[in-house]
Structure 1
Amino acid sequence: MGKTSEDKLIPDCIFELPKSQLALFLSRLFATDGWASVGNSSRASVEIGFCSASRLLVEQIQRLLLRFGINGSVSRKNKVNAWVYSIRVSSMILKFAEEIGIYGKEEALQKVVKVAEQRATSKQVPKWRTKDAPEGTAWEKVVSVRRLEDEDDTVAIEVPGHNTFLTSFYEHNTFLAACLVLWWVLAVGGLAITTAPTKRQVIELLWGEIRRTHKRLDLPGELIQTKLTLTEEARAFGFTASDTNSNAFQGVHHPRLLVIEDEACGISQDIDEGASSCATGAQNRFLRIGNPIEPGGAFEKACKQKHIRIPVWNHPNVAWAYEQEPDGEHRLKPAVRPQIIGEDGEVLPPDQWPDSCPRDAIPGAVSITWIEEARAKYGEGSAYWQSRVCGLFPEDSTQSIVPRTWFMAARARYDADPEHWQKQSIAHSFRLGLDVGDGADSHALSRWQGPLLWSARSIPTKGDQEDVTRAAGLAIAVLKDIKTRSVAAQLNRLNPDKPHQGSVTVDRGGVGAGAHALLKEQGYPSTGVHWGEAARDSAQFLNAKAEDYWALREACRKNEIAIAPLGQYEDELMEDLAGTYWEMTSVGKIKIEDKAKTRKRLKRSPDLGDAVALGFRQPRLRDGSFSHTPISYA
């Protein structure tokens, strides 16, 4: 009640329901903004979906349905500024219809089920099975790959004009990319271009694999480090381009072009867009390979369109030992666990396992020990676990100063008990954080009271001589309003002898100095901070900026603060804080990355994030005194 559509979420108690009650809840929830539809084309598309302006709500639905083994995708619809959860795979649709259903929309769901059942039981031969296959033959999917008992044996199945080899390997992505490059040049007769974030990755990794494979198989063509030439048309080359040089691919066109981005998570948006602009022909192909480490980049955006995910559970070293549980997580099978886990809870050395437990099929690759150590060290919900183990893009980077999950938790804390957080804030005066834009950036202002962030907003600068005055005026308007706002008036009635005071913290470096001077001249309590100066704890932090941001991070981590609804600025602030990364200097001090890196990641300056960090520093008590040590609000 009382929430905007963007603020809706599913209460924690729902996640604790048994599956029977949870299915009932989801059935009624889909009855509101959900649908089941069949397209009008000759090959009608089918979909079960749910739409909401709240990204958190849609992602919560996705997680709840995983308890039933139902997997769907989440995407953003920019035209209507909303988020959509959709299920399009026939097997998932049938499972949803069987276990969930949509209350009041049974007829529409039945139409979708009918089409899904027809597809699931269809005996038609898919087009891919006969495309380019010799007459009288069809392609088959590789069901499994296993190591032969006698490694000297090789089985070959021969058909006219084609050779298919069953080999004894389970290879790394880079090897796969190397094989594709060689095949594209030598068999397709096309142009293959590869790139990677660093020179070492290009020369030593992907092209190292290409050189080794080319030599081992004695393949044709002239190969020199990162260039393979068979003919003028059939060739390949690899290079490393500048992070922002999208022109690196300019003018590269070929009727049979293959572009491969290796370690794609490290490829910048500019480079990815430059590469995409080349692969536009009907016979052009684009392959991105990498680990889903950093969310929000070009690699994640491409994966949302189409991808093949290979989680660690698919690896033959560990697949035998794990099963997926109702909450969607993979854990050791009950029959396996007591055989390989010791009394201390750690994985026993493989030589202590019973003979019935398989040993690693591929020594040196992923192992059960590594998985369980990662589970214990990082936790199943961590960004590390999501990316390195599950093959999913994490919601956050481990280097985010305030990860998205922490931010959303702070918002949820306020919504769960607004009265509690308002009472927690009574002992404190309002304090504002003002980040002054320099003409290219916006002015931003935050308003804190003790552990509670009441508001944050930004206004664009105009690049004229009045920008500094407007920035100061933004803060003055809020200071004047503090005494007359209904919330402040109510709090003052609770303690009329100590009226609320408002103060401003401004970064006085650069253009902020002018706004700070104007506030002081007009009699407003303004504290000038130079974020480039030494921190109070100079042994741990490089400068005051790192110390202030870290104080905010720790308060979020410890669940000590709450965030009130911020309206249109909420997502922007969340991305500012998640997109600002912290680093360690060579001498072990915490620092905030250079703003140029943050700008590049966000495509803008994190003005709201800076304002919130400035406002949070040095909480002021209602008697006007500062606290120079962190205050625990728990």
Structure 2
Amino acid sequence: MATPTRESVRHQVEQLVRAGDTKALREIRDQLKRKVDRRSLRERSRLYAHNPVGWVIERLRQTVWSKQRDIMLSVRDNRRTAVRSCHGVGKSHTASLVASWWLDTHPPGEAFVVTSAPTFAQVRAILWRYIRRTHRRGKLAGRVNQTEWHIDDELVAFGRKPADHDESAFQGIHARYVLVILDEACGIPEQLWVAADALTTNADCRILAIGNPDNPSSHFRKVCLPGSGWHVIGISAFESPNLSGEEVPEAVAQALVGREWVEEKAREWGEDNPLYKSKVLGEFSEDAPNKVVRASDVARCRIDPETKPAAADLEPVELGVDVGGGGDETVIRERRGRRAGREWRAHTDRPEKIAPMVVQAIKESGATAVKVDSIGVGFGVIGELRNAAGRGEHTAHILGVNVGEKSSQPDKFKNLRAEIWWEIGRGLSERGGWDLSGMENADTAVAQLLEPLWHADAQGRIQVEPKDDVRKRLGRSPDNADALLLAFYSAGRPRVRWLS
């Protein structure tokens, strides 16, 4: 059949207009649109299928800085790319560019994008939020909702969080060009890596795994090791434009990690801290055998559980108070059941100022018990809080905790401090017994939690580095971590001494 000429189509349209046949007019319009779309796709494929950087610059009118360029070219050239990245360099934004380039330069039906993350909330609120922005900015084909992309009637991409143990999670997807993106890759269990690998068996398929390297026992760590068969890219904060001097537009620079934040974290966490190595250097750290709390254990406790707790699971509501002395910060930490919550803090060691802070925290949280470090200034705070209870200002039980006292297991621990740090800090982290995913001021508390050392004393008992020694070694005190441990310190684990 001969291809209709422009004149014949125009004549046919004029006849249909005169006849008022709107249905036929819509069909012709749709046919013409599909023809134009196919022609445009062929041209995009010719120009950009092997030029993802040019696609971003010319199609989206966006800047691509050096590490973004490295990632996009690696996906073009390598079947499997792993990116261990520091904080604040646009990991998920870069992944959204890769996903959008992939679908915009391959025919619908021949290309498919699958994304996953440790939780469904992360799938929807992180990567797919960026995908929607990219789609809108580039006026790309089809329509995008919170976790799916459709072109015409074809589903071409989706974000999913399957069950952790489901190796067949993504079965049923058949396309020549499959791209799998594993966002926040450190929190993705090994079975889902197996499922991703099963989707990408031919030479034209790709996997991009990208995330912060905060769990040294994760499968992500394994794929980042030499000899894994993955092309690995590391991104340090010192390689980002604001620290390297690479020229980028001001709007781009403002969205990336800055020197002030990096220097602040060096002072606050210390350059040997696992959190600094992960979030600033983009490197995995080792679980040191002489650290009380292991980074790999804590990392698992920072992934938001998919199952939301029942009201009964959010009890008891209690507070831990580490009282500042000698210039240290006073910190109040809330726990609601197994979940660590809000934090209140101030630079003061005066009981008459600390006690009203605690009373206000009791009122805001509804806490029924408050555990206060009773050494030094803390004893005065306890007295103020007991007086406040006598005046009817609160009804919480006030517990004094002297960590220098004898442990409830004196044959195992040198003192109560060792028992608290070992049984709560190490024990709850190992068992996933607390939820640190929504904890306020989480990075500071976790960085401090990962610092203290332990050793066995002459009698074979566990001894945890004293707080004064931590302060001397690091130049800062683990006040936030101590308040967290006190919040979770209760009967049934280490014993407590009731003062009211």
Q: Which has the higher contact order (CA 8 A, sep 6+)?
A: 2
TM-score by length of 1: 0.35
TM-score, normalized by length of structure 2?
0.43
Whichever structure has more helix as a proportion of its residues is 2
